[in-house]
């Protein structure tokens, strides 16, 4: 009985391994601030990745949570969206991380101007610090391309 179970497990494992090896790699179109490598190899990320009809935009940071800092973040995100012919109306999800949620609430009106009343699903989280020690705000987006 144990030999049969071992044989079945081995067969399943081999089938799974074969299926993983024969799958085509995911197509990814990358963009990273006009960098010819299209990614930051020192930190190990890219600013945006298009896969299928979805655009994933990495966190974009500001050093302060004030009117200027919030505007700077959303202007940079807008630039990334434009690289793919999109705008904030295509954004379906926003994740916002800040070291000062109360300040972000105060300057939310700046953020809202970019969405023009068409807001995405959003999650805002206050955290102790970000990857860049001096950063105080980081926003990442997921946008969808219109169906053709």
**38 conformational bin, left if phi > 0, alpha if psi -120 to 50, beta if neither:** left
Cα torsion 46, 49, 55, 56: sign: negative
- The pLDDT tens digits of the residues spanning 38-79 come to 777 677 788 899 999 999 999 999 999 999 999 999 999 999
* Contacts of residue 42, Cβ cutoff 8 Å, sequence gap at least 6: none
> Is pLDDT above 70 for 81?
yes
According to the model, what pLDDT value does residue 78 have? 98
- The pTM assigned to this predicted structure is 0.80
Give the whole-angstrom CA distance, residue 62 versus residue 68.
Answer: 9
Q: Any alpha helices (H) in the chain, and if so which ranges?
A: 2-22, 67-83, 101-106, 108-115
In tens, the pLDDT along 6-16 reads: 656 665 666 66
- CA 115/CA 90 separation, integer angstroms: 10
Q: Which two tokens stand for residue 143?
A: 């946008």
- Give Rg (Cα) of the chain: 21
């Amino acid at each position: 009985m144990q030999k049969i179970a071992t044989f079945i497990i081995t067969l399943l494992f081999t089938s799974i391994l074969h299926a993983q090896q024969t799958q085509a790699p995911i197509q990814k179109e990358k963009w990273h601030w006009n960098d010819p490598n299209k990614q930051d190899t020192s930190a190990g990320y890219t600013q945006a990745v298009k896969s299928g009809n979805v655009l994933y935009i990495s966190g974009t940071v500001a050093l302060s949570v004030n009117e200027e800092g919030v505007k700077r973040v959303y202007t940079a995100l807008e630039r990334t969206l434009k690289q793919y012919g999109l705008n904030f109306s295509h954004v379906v999800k926003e994740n916002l991380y800040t070291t000062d949620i109360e300040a972000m609430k105060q300057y939310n009106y700046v953020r809202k101007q970019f969405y023009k009343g068409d807001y995405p699903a959003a999650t805002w989280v206050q955290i102790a610090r970000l990857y860049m020690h001096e950063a105080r705000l980081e926003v990442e987006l997921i946008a969808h391309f219109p169906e053709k």
